Chains A and B, each alone.
Chain A
Amino acid sequence: MAETTVRLPEARYEFGGDEFVFVELDREMSLQANFKAMAITGALRDRELEGVVDICPSNASYLIRLDPGKLHPTELVEELRRLEHSVGELDGNRVVSTRIVDVPVLFDDPWTKETLLRFRDNHQDPNVTDLEYAARINGFSTVEELIEAIGSAPFIVTMLGFVPGLPFCYQMVPRERQIEVPKYVRPRTDTPERAFGYGGAFAVVYPVRGAGGYQLFGIAPAPVFDGTQSLPDFHDRIAFPQPSDILRYRPIDRAEYDHVRSEVEAGTFHYRIREVEFSPTAFLENPDSVNRDLLEELYR
């Protein structure tokens, strides 16, 4: 299968001025590149180096923010090169402790539909909805088939960012089964809070209302960001998703959407979460079987 044959190039080290180091692991997206980013940034976190301010794994790269008064960027790059060679090669025995989470999504909902209809002039095909367009260019004969494909396999959080709490999610399927869509020709100036969008090969949930360029497919009833930290899942942090979380986007109907919304508003909602041990190597060898086990664990 395609994913196992990905060979990563040598990492490319770049200075983002005096306060940042950017490391590109590959120019194209793959789970291998993301697993490598997670392994190196995880090892760097364990080092607790003086002068490292932020460690930001991203899809096929990572970014480190530093205090150059305490750590010179060239010294950091030397350390990162050492880490690349000691932990960057995927170790067959490596197991990641992570979570699998059920994330309900109401597809083809009235709110994102109203928004996308307002911005038809910014879109590749003004005559159809974003779901209809995405289904067509990905070879699905109906919108329902596209939605089923999104729900059939979980996604892994490969990056957080853009705005606080936004998870970039990559579906855990071989490349030939990836859904891929362009971003809007011109970004929208408005997106509903909690909108479920798709751009490139990534699915996202928009944490807050604002601009956006991803195709709009639906809306999640539960938040990914809670600045007031009132919901139980947010007591320790303001953003729910974490890197390497495995999220299953489950299509729901309007009745369930309304029910979850009422729980959120009452402050009683919590995500369905299971702690799991995840082996990247086992996954790359047999993704469908690992996904089946993950979903079984989630809904047991």
Chain B
Amino acid sequence: MNEVLVRSGGLYTTVQDAGRDGHYAIGMPPSGAMDRYSFTIANLLTGNPGSTAALEATYLGPELEFTDSRTVAVTGANSSVTINGASAPMWTSLRVGPGDVLGFGPLKTGARPYVAISGGLDVPEYLNSRSTYKLTGIGGFGGRALAEGDRVPLGRAQDAPAEGTTVPEEFLPEFPDVVELRLVVGLCSYRLTENALNSFFDTTWKVTKDADRIGYRLRGGTIDFVERQQPFGAGSDPANVVDLGYPIGSVQIPGGNEPIILLNDAVTGGGYATVGTVVSADRDRIAQTGTGGYVRFNATDVDSAVQARQDRDAWLHKLRTVLSG
């Protein structure tokens, strides 16, 4: 069997694909690659269909030893990538053979590098997806992050782009100091005073150390809730509502001072008031914002949210044409 050897798992590296859709109603989040844009490009550079399982690393990437000839590509967070200790370019189709070792140095900007390997990571599917969901230990490689000594099976490689194929500059994501996130206000935003909502948008929020695939906790301001008579069944905290479903990307503010953005592995529902939802295309940017980074929210509407998603898809389509041309 063809496999890749894990010499170091890095900080937190998991197998992810386009996600496990269709089980939200039982409380199962989709998981899947958090930065969908970088993930898709990594697959394009290795000749894989865009939704093929790849590796998502966090801050520090893994060290991988190959056992056969493959095309590999690293995208996402701006990292120092090496092959057999020599510097290698990101966003480029790289050719490796048996015994070659892909490694990572310190990260410069961003938070999550992606590693795609031609043929994809051939771990068993669980509910039609290879994405890791750590809470219940399902999917991916044994339902967990990669560790030293793991041997991850690889699929049969298809034709990959020529060695050295590189993504043009204009397609590379930016990693600004303050990340702007478009947010559709709504859901239970009626729980906030008008001043509180304005202050939410005026605040530059700092990402705390509690920031992972489940969600990001932010600090930087205090938000007031409208006073009320507690509705039956809601619970006594001003931020409580009768338990309801949470959209992925939705923002809640328990305690009034710690907004949480829910992400790919989040709980699917609960009893806190949600005040809006980050548009799906901008989850790519959250994924590349790490602890200590800053975010701001900009109000937008549902039409712009759909447009942002279409624009990203069109951009990826254009890149596909450029790379195959």
Which A residues are within 8 Å of any B CB, using their own CB?
14-20, 22, 24, 26-30, 53-63, 65, 68-69, 72-74, 159-166, 168, 170, 175, 178, 180, 182-183, 199-202, 207-208, 210, 225, 227, 237-239, 243
CB distance from B308 to the nearest CB of A (A): 7
CA–CA, A30 and B135, complex, Å? 31
Contact A17-B184, Cβ < 8 Å, known A54-B24, A164-B26: yes
Any A CB within 8 A of the CB of B149: no
Q: How many A-B residue pairs have CB under 8 A?
A: 192
B150-194 toward A: CB 8 Å interface, digit per residue (1/0)? 000000000000000000000000000000000010111000000
Tell me the dominant secondary structure on chain B's binding face.
Answer: mixed
Closest to A243 in B: B25
CB distance from A254 to the nearest CB of B (A): 28
Find out whether the CB atom of A28 lies under 8 angstroms from the CB atom of B242.
yes
For B136, list chain A residues within 8 Å (CB).
163-164, 207-208, 225, 227
Q: CB < 8 Å: which of A30, A63, A164, A200 contacts B271?
A: A200
For B28, list chain A residues within 8 Å (CB).
164
Find out whether the CB atom of B24 lies under 8 angstroms from the CB atom of A15.
no
Closest to B230 in A: A28
CB distance from B15 to the nearest CB of A (A): 17
For A30, list chain B residues within 8 Å (CB).
232
CA–CA, A227 and B26, complex, Å? 12
Q: CB < 8 Å: which of B127, B237, B245, B310 contacts A62?
A: B245
| 12 CB-based A-B contacts, threshold 8 Å | A15-B305, A19-B247, A22-B247, A24-B188, A54-B24, A54-B25, A58-B245, A72-B306, A161-B268, A162-B27, A200-B242, A201-B232
Find out whether the CB atom of A162 lies under 8 angstroms from the CB atom of B268.
yes
Any A CB within 8 A of the CB of B279: yes
For A238, list chain B residues within 8 Å (CB).
26, 127
Contact A54-B22, Cβ < 8 Å, known A17-B184, A68-B306: yes
CA–CA, A200 and B127, complex, Å? 33
Find out whether the CB atom of A162 lies under 8 angstroms from the CB atom of B278.
no
Any A CB within 8 A of the CB of B241: yes
B298-319 toward A: CB 8 Å interface, digit per residue (1/0)? 0000110110111001000000
Find out whether the CB atom of B232 lies under 8 angstroms from the CB atom of A18.
no
Interface size on B, residues (CB 8 A): 53
For A165, list chain B residues within 8 Å (CB).
26-27
CA–CA, A30 and B233, complex, Å? 9
Contact A16-B187, Cβ < 8 Å, known A63-B245, A68-B309, A160-B27: yes
Any A CB within 8 A of the CB of B202: no
Any A CB within 8 A of the CB of B129: no
Contact A210-B135, Cβ < 8 Å, known A22-B247, A161-B268: yes
For A237, list chain B residues within 8 Å (CB).
26
Q: CB < 8 Å: which of A14, A17, A166 contacts B249?
A: A17
CB distance from A216 to the nearest CB of B (A): 16
Tell me the dominant secondary structure on chain A's binding face.
Answer: loop
Find out whether the CB atom of A16 lies under 8 angstroms from the CB atom of B247.
yes
For B21, list chain A residues within 8 Å (CB).
53-54, 65
Find out whether the CB atom of A73 lies under 8 angstroms from the CB atom of B24.
no
Find out whether the CB atom of B24 lies under 8 angstroms from the CB atom of A53.
yes
Closest to B137 in A: A227
Find out whether the CB atom of A14 lies under 8 angstroms from the CB atom of B241.
no
CB distance from B33 to the nearest CB of A (A): 15
Find out whether the CB atom of B277 lies under 8 angstroms from the CB atom of A20.
yes
CA–CA, A57 and B243, complex, Å? 11
For A227, list chain B residues within 8 Å (CB).
136-138
CB distance from A78 to the nearest CB of B (A): 13
CB distance from A206 to the nearest CB of B (A): 11
Find out whether the CB atom of A56 lies under 8 angstroms from the CB atom of B233.
no
CB distance from A196 to the nearest CB of B (A): 17
For A58, list chain B residues within 8 Å (CB).
243-245, 269
CB distance from B237 to the nearest CB of A (A): 8
> Which of B233, B246, B248 has the most chain A CB atoms inside 10 A of its CB?
B233
CB distance from B129 to the nearest CB of A (A): 13
Q: CB < 8 Å: which of B22, B186, B231, B267 contacts A161?
A: B267
Find out whether the CB atom of B187 lies under 8 angstroms from the CB atom of A55.
no
Find out whether the CB atom of B233 lies under 8 angstroms from the CB atom of A14.
no
Contact A27-B242, Cβ < 8 Å, known A17-B184, A160-B27, A165-B27: yes
**Extra A-B contacts (20), CB below 8 Å, given A162-B267, A162-B270, A163-B135:** A15-B277, A15-B302, A16-B186, A16-B274, A17-B184, A22-B244, A22-B245, A24-B188, A56-B268, A59-B244, A63-B247, A161-B269, A163-B136, A164-B26, A178-B232, A180-B232, A183-B271, A200-B271, A208-B136, A210-B135
Find out whether the CB atom of A60 lies under 8 angstroms from the CB atom of B242.
yes
Q: CB < 8 Å: which of A19, A56, A161, A199 contacts B235?
A: A199
Find out whether the CB atom of A59 lies under 8 angstroms from the CB atom of B233.
yes
CA–CA, A26 and B233, complex, Å? 11
For A15, list chain B residues within 8 Å (CB).
184, 186, 277, 302, 305
CB distance from B257 to the nearest CB of A (A): 14
Any A CB within 8 A of the CB of B128: no
CA–CA, A166 and B237, complex, Å? 22
Any A CB within 8 A of the CB of B222: no
For B11, list chain A residues within 8 Å (CB).
none
CA–CA, A40 and B247, complex, Å? 19
CA–CA, A69 and B309, complex, Å? 8
Find out whether the CB atom of B231 lies under 8 angstroms from the CB atom of A239.
no
CB distance from A182 to the nearest CB of B (A): 5
Closest to B279 in A: A17
Find out whether the CB atom of B26 lies under 8 angstroms from the CB atom of A161.
yes
